[in-house]
Amino acid sequence: MPANLPPEAKDKWALVESARNPREKIIRMQEFLSVVPKHKGTMKLCGRIKKKIALLRKEVEEQKQKRTGRSGPKLFIEKEGAAQVALLGLTNVGKSCFLSVVTNANVTISPVAYTTIKPEPGILNFEDMQFQIVEAPAIMQGSSEGRAWGLQSIGIARNADGIILMVDLSYDPISQLKIILSELEKARVLINKPKGKVDIDRRYLGAGLRVILLGKIIDGNIQAVKSLLRSYRIGDALVRISGEVTLDDVEDSIFESTVYKPAVIIANKLDSKEAKNNLKHLKSYLNEGIPIVPISCENKLGLKNVGKVLFDTLDLIRIYTKEPGNRQYSSRPFTLQRGKTVADLAKNIHTDFKRNFAFAKVWSKRLKFSPQKVGLNFELDDGDVVEIHVN
Query: How many angstroms separate the CA atoms of 200 and 223, rounded?
Result: 15
Query: How many angstroms separate the CA atoms of 167 and 230, rounded?
Result: 45
Residue with more model confidence, 306 or 118: 306
**Averaged confidence pLDDT in the chain:** 90
The pLDDT value given to residue 223: 94
**Each residue's pLDDT tens digit, 237-295:** 999 999 999 988 898 888 876 789 999 999 999 999 999 999 999 999 998 789 999 99
Residue 107 has pLDDT above 70, yes or no: yes
Which of 155, 128, 136, 133 is CA-nearest to residue 144?
A: 155
Mean pLDDT to the nearest integer, 20-43: 87
DSSP code of residue 40:
G
Query: How many angstroms separate the CA atoms of 164 and 83, rounded?
Result: 12
What is the chain's alpha carbon radius of gyration, rounded to the nearest angstrom? 23
The pLDDT value given to residue 66: 66
Query: How many angstroms separate the CA atoms of 68 and 143, rounded?
Result: 30
The pLDDT value given to residue 112: 85
Strand stretches in 203-323, DSSP E: 209-217, 237-245, 259-260, 263-268, 292-294, 316-321
- 236-270 burial, b at 16+ Cβ within 10 Å, e below that, comes to ebebebbeebbbebbbbbbbeebbebbbbbbbbbb
Q: What percent of the chain has pLDDT over 70?
A: 96
Say whether domain 83-193+260-313 belongs to CATH 1.10.645.10: no
The pLDDT value given to residue 255: 80
The pLDDT value given to residue 1: 45
Domain ranges within the chain, ordered by starting residue? 1-71, 83-193+260-313, 196-257, 316-390
- One CATH from 3.90.1150.10, 3.40.50.10800, 3.10.20.30, 3.40.50.970 for 316-390: 3.10.20.30
Residue 72 has pLDDT above 80, yes or no: no
**Candidate from 120-134, 190-204, 309-323 with smallest mean pLDDT:** 190-204
**Each residue's pLDDT tens digit, 366-378:** 999 989 999 999 9
Residue with more model confidence, 171 or 53: 171
The pLDDT value given to residue 251: 85
Residue with more model confidence, 59 or 225: 225
- Contact assessment for residue 388 and residue 349, using Cβ atoms and an 8 Å cutoff: yes
- Contact assessment for residue 360 and residue 374, using Cβ atoms and an 8 Å cutoff: yes
**Each residue's pLDDT tens digit, 113-167:** 888 888 999 999 999 999 999 999 999 999 988 888 888 899 899 999 999 999 9
Instruction: Supply φ then ψ for residue 135, to 5 degrees.
Output: -75, 125
